[in-house]
C-alpha cells in the first residue's frame, strides 16, 4: 500500500514533466536538425547556381562580344563575288579578332547540315546575301535546324541593295529570339549565280 500519496503524486508529476521535457526536446532537436539540413541544402544549391550562373554569364559575355564585334567593328571594304567569299572574309576577321576561339567555316552537324561559321563550338553564324525575299525566307527554315545544335545563333545579312526589306527580316529574326545584323556591302555584277 501507498503510505504517502503526496510522494506518489510528486513522482507521477515528475514522470509527466520528464516525458514532456523529453518530447519537447526531441521535437526541438528534430526541428533544429531540419533547419540545419535545409540550410545546408540551400547553401549547396546556392553554390551550384553560382557556379552555373557564372559559367552562363561568362558564356553570355563571350557571345555578346562576338555579336558586338560583328555588328560594330566588322566593316566590309571590298566587293564579294559570292556568299562563300563573304563567309571567308568574316571567318578570317573573327579568327584575327578572337585567336583564343576555334572558328570553323562550313561546320557540318551530325545530321549533315552545314552552318556557315561556328565559334568555339558554341555559337552559329549564318550568312545570307539579300538578293530576294526567297533568300531570306530560306533562313527561317535553317533556324529551326540550327537551334537543335546551338542555343545561340547570329544571322548576318549582306544588303547589296537588290532587296528593300532586309531590315524588316532582321526584325523578324529578332522577334523569334535570333540575333540579326544587317551589313551593307557589294557583290560583283558579273557573277549572277548566288
Domain ranges of the chain: 1-61, 74-187
How confident is the model at residue 141, as a pLDDT? 85
Q: Which residue has the cell 549582306?
A: 158
Q: What DSSP letter does each residue of 60-107 carry, written as one string?
A: HHHHHHHHHIIIII----SEESSHHHHHHHHHHHHHHH-TTS-EEEEE
Question: 185: Cβ–Cβ under 8 A, 6 or more apart, which residues?
Answer: 76, 80, 86, 158, 159, 160
Cα separation, 105 vs 86, in Å, equals 11
Contact 129, 161 (CB under 8 A): no
Composition of the chain by helix, strand, coil, percent to 5: 55, 20, 25
How confident is the model at residue 191, as a pLDDT? 54
How confident is the model at residue 2, as a pLDDT? 58
Would you identify the CATH topology of the domain 74-187?
Restriction Endonuclease (3.40.91)
Contact 122, 152 (CB under 8 A): yes
Cα separation, 89 vs 41, in Å, equals 51
Contact 61, 168 (CB under 8 A): no
CA gyration radius, the chain: 33
pLDDT tens-digit profile, the chain (194 residues): 556 667 767 777 777 777 777 777 777 766 776 666 666 666 665 555 555 555 567 778 899 999 999 999 999 888 999 999 999 999 999 999 999 999 999 998 887 888 999 999 899 999 999 988 898 998 988 888 888 888 899 999 999 988 888 999 999 999 999 999 999 998 887 654 44
- The SS3 call for residue 4 is coil
Half-sphere exposure of 166 (CA within 13 A, CB side): 22
How confident is the model at residue 194, as a pLDDT? 43
Q: At what angle do helices 166-175 and 133-146 cross, to 10 degrees?
A: 20
**pTM score:** 0.68
Amino acid at each position: 500500500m501507498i503510505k504517502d500519496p503526496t510522494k506518489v503524486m510528486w513522482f507521477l508529476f515528475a514522470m509527466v514533466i520528464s516525458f514532456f521535457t523529453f518530447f519537447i526536446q526531441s521535437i526541438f532537436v528534430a526541428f533544429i536538425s531540419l533547419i540545419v539540413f535545409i540550410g545546408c541544402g540551400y547553401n549547396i544549391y546556392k553554390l551550384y547556381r553560382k557556379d552555373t550562373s557564372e559559367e552562363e554569364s561568362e558564356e553570355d559575355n563571350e557571345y555578346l562580344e562576338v555579336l558586338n564585334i560583328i555588328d560594330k567593328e566588322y566593316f566590309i571594304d571590298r566587293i564579294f563575288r559570292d556568299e562563300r567569299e563573304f563567309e571567308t572574309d568574316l571567318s578570317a576577321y573573327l579568327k584575327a579578332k578572337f585567336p583564343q576561339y576555334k572558328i570553323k567555316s562550313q561546320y557540318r552537324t551530325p545530321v549533315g547540315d552545314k552552318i556557315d561559321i561556328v565559334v568555339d563550338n558554341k555559337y552559329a553564324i549564318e550568312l545570307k546575301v539579300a538578293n530576294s525575299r526567297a533568300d531570306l525566307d530560306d533562313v527561317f527554315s535553317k533556324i529551326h535546324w540550327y537551334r537543335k545544335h546551338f542555343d545561340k545563333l547570329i544571322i548576318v545579312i549582306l544588303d547589296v541593295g537588290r532587296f528593300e526589306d532586309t531590315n524588316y527580316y532582321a526584325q523578324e529574326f529578332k522577334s523569334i529570339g535570333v540575333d540579326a545584323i544587317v551589313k551593307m556591302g557589294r557583290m560583283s555584277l558579273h557573277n549572277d549565280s548566288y
